[in-house]
Structure 1
């Protein structure tokens, strides 16, 4: 069900704003210097919404939420800082405890009514939509929103500037917040700010990594301008559906066939059919680095891999097993090249990663449902992105069976594509056994 704009906006009302910062002073002249991968992601934003029913949200007051954040931000004080630029123009974060933007709101619907709508565009009402800039030095990189449903349920929305860290950093932050909300005493390290990075002296590579795309200068307003109007749709693919699709691709009796690559192979070919005149023969795959983040509790270190089928390859006429194997076996990690280029330019030039090529973002390993209230998982978790380039992005997350069950039921997929392609992509997916 899709609502007219005015009716959609009236779903959430009585929005009140405040700020929340660390419970202790971080110190004077504390700075966090951003790495090349951080700055490469500065035009992207993660938007996350957690929906809890009234039983889980019982006793969850605004004061209790803020008290938990005071403690959490003692460790994550970098997220409460503000951006500055060096003399060369390179952005960095001054850890001045300015805090995060905190919004309180009410919704005209019950949680059940909201879930029944399945109007994905309405989810933007449950999470702040501001971006960094145009007054960069006053813009918080992290914004939170608490929305109360009529039934007593609650939505916890988070807008996370990707320059802070990748989705796994975001998930770790949210899960730690949940533990503080549940009055758990945690021994965790403080986020030690990074020092000024060493500028590399080697020559800039003649050829840019294919996983990035340069965009027109955006100054201090960190959001890329799209040539096309982008739209979003989402769907749940159950474990049974996924098993059937994997068998369709790999054949019967094949164990442990990769679900992410199998699903992305189908979506890749469907999008190629829609873009028949300009098939995406090169795609980008982003996923967690199995080696972790080292000593940082936030940061960008996810694998950013190019997968090239070849300019003369027809994606439409390539069988799904071949496409899936390409995604499994042929990815070349381009993080080092991206980091070198951005650091040589001292983070002044502007580029995008998500949507530079058709991009597949694997969030299957993100602990999406580890954030619990009163021991109960959320009814639903929604992840999306802001600042996606024209080639589009596909996010693949786990989907929980329910708040009282421990297993996942398949995947939840969100696709962000040019608006004029959405209907055609949905039709192609249905014809390939993916019910949207």
Structure 2
């Protein structure tokens, strides 16, 4: 089935900002980790059926957003540069971009599709730049399906915060719409970071420095990237863990087991350049004040060693490496940014083959009229050539996986995933 771009039509654009003024001369200064993520964007789509979206009008959504943005006014600002070139946000209440559209398909027809590329019609893929002062860091899209169902699409500039920040951001909109109020945590703009101690000149392995991108914040890929998503059922996951661990009492969590198998399959595809070093990103288990925006996720390098052959390694060895042997490089990434006073350009996702654990970010906590989404789709824009693998909860059971990898690798990788039981034939 081929669906044309007219699948989403009658598109309207507007802006929504705080209901109250944030004040004059209010500025938010992203920290080093924030700036390291500035070339990445989170794209999330929430699908609700007609029962959940009944009586949810555009006006009701916007009315809730006025109160919501009083709390999240930082996200309604626009980027500027200091005299040295370091980006900061002027909290000028310019607002988030608001997109409305109608879909010519029913929600059931949409859920039946296997082509995840069509989700690009339900969420904006606009990036920041080339004019910083006109580029909103948040874009919000509401699309009505022919059956009355609705999708909410969030486009979130990663410089604002990590996946947990984005999740708390959108979930809090649901709380406002359901008259539950907001948590009392305050999103206070950060001051200019104090100069740190000079760090080592060597860049961290988990981030890659690139030539300056100027004010157009997106990394240039050397390869054409493709995105593919699939569901892993609980039965498949149980079989995979039994295959890796047998009767052992110690089994790594599902995330590491799935990623170990994908790491193995990618190595079989990249026969001339096995990914011996990978990056693992996950929510910081010690993080507090989840309602505050900012990048605090753990970013670990996992090095198998030059003498290790990934293809010949036991899956249990790879899984335990992912679970236990990661070295957190947040401090080194921050030092690399601050060494150049925040003006250098780095990226994290795709600097190495990157595994992103999204299982603890409360993906299904966004509610409309007390009902959770039928399905949530998650992807990242701005992934480097080594690719990224996102693992997050499925709608009912198991896990959902989104892979962003070089297009020429996808056919063979799908074949490897089918051989190893992660991908079913109908996918």
Q: TM-score scaled by structure 2?
A: 0.97
Shift of 1:66: 0.3
Structure 1 residue 348 corresponds to structure 2 residue 336: no
Measured against aligned partners, the alpha-carbon deviations of 1:388-422 in whole angstroms (never above 9, x if no partner) come to: 00000000001121xxxxxxx01000000000001
User: What's the Cα RMSD here?
Assistant: 1.2
Structure 2 unmatched runs, 5+: none
Partner of 1:283: 278
| Contact 2:44–2:376 (8 Å) recurs in 1 | yes
Helix, strand or coil: the match of 1:144? strand
Helix, strand or coil: the match of 1:400? coil
Partner of 1:158: 154
Partner of 1:134: 130
Helix, strand or coil: the match of 1:276? coil
| Contact 2:78–2:136 (8 Å) recurs in 1 | yes
Helix, strand or coil: the match of 1:63? helix
Structure 1: distance between partners of 2:296 and 2:114: 33
Structure 1: distance between partners of 2:309 and 2:149: 49
Helix, strand or coil: the match of 1:391? coil
Q: 1:312 to 1:104 in 2, by over 3 A?
A: same
| Contact 1:293–1:299 (8 Å) recurs in 2 | no
Shift of 1:187: 4.2
Of the candidates 315, 318, 336, which is equivalent to residue 323 of structure 1? 318
Partner of 2:169: 173
Partner of 2:116: 120
Partner of 2:41: 45
| Contact 2:185–2:291 (8 Å) recurs in 1 | no
Structure 1 residue 59 corresponds to structure 2 residue 55: yes
Shift of 1:270: 0.1
| Contact 2:165–2:290 (8 Å) recurs in 1 | no
Partner of 2:413: 425
Structure 1 residue 95 corresponds to structure 2 residue 91: yes
Helix, strand or coil: the match of 1:414? strand
Structure 1 residue 106 corresponds to structure 2 residue 102: yes
Measured against aligned partners, the alpha-carbon deviations of 1:238-257 in whole angstroms (never above 9, x if no partner) come to: 11110110010011253653
Structure 1: distance between partners of 2:168 and 2:181: 16
Structure 1 unmatched runs, 5+: 402-408
Of the candidates 405, 409, 434, which is equivalent to residue 422 of structure 2? 434
| Contact 2:123–2:153 (8 Å) recurs in 1 | yes
Shift of 1:296: 6.7
Q: TM-score scaled by structure 1?
A: 0.95
Structure 1 residue 312 corresponds to structure 2 residue 300: no
Shift of 1:295: 8.2
Structure 1 residue 414 corresponds to structure 2 residue 402: yes
Partner of 2:14: 18
Of residues 390-399 and 210-219 in structure 1, the stretch that sits farther from structure 2 once superposed is 210-219
Runs of 4+ in 1 over 6 A off after TM superposition: none
Structure 1 residue 357 corresponds to structure 2 residue 352: yes
Shift of 1:188: 2.1
Structure 2: distance between partners of 1:129 and 1:305: 27
Shift of 1:111: 0.3
Structure 2: distance between partners of 1:256 and 1:264: 14
| Contact 1:40–1:338 (8 Å) recurs in 2 | yes
Structure 2: distance between partners of 1:424 and 1:102: 39
Structure 1: distance between partners of 2:241 and 2:340: 44
| Contact 2:34–2:159 (8 Å) recurs in 1 | yes
Partner of 2:227: 232
Of the candidates 359, 364, 373, which is equivalent to residue 369 of structure 1? 364
Helix, strand or coil: the match of 1:105? strand
Helix, strand or coil: the match of 1:384? strand
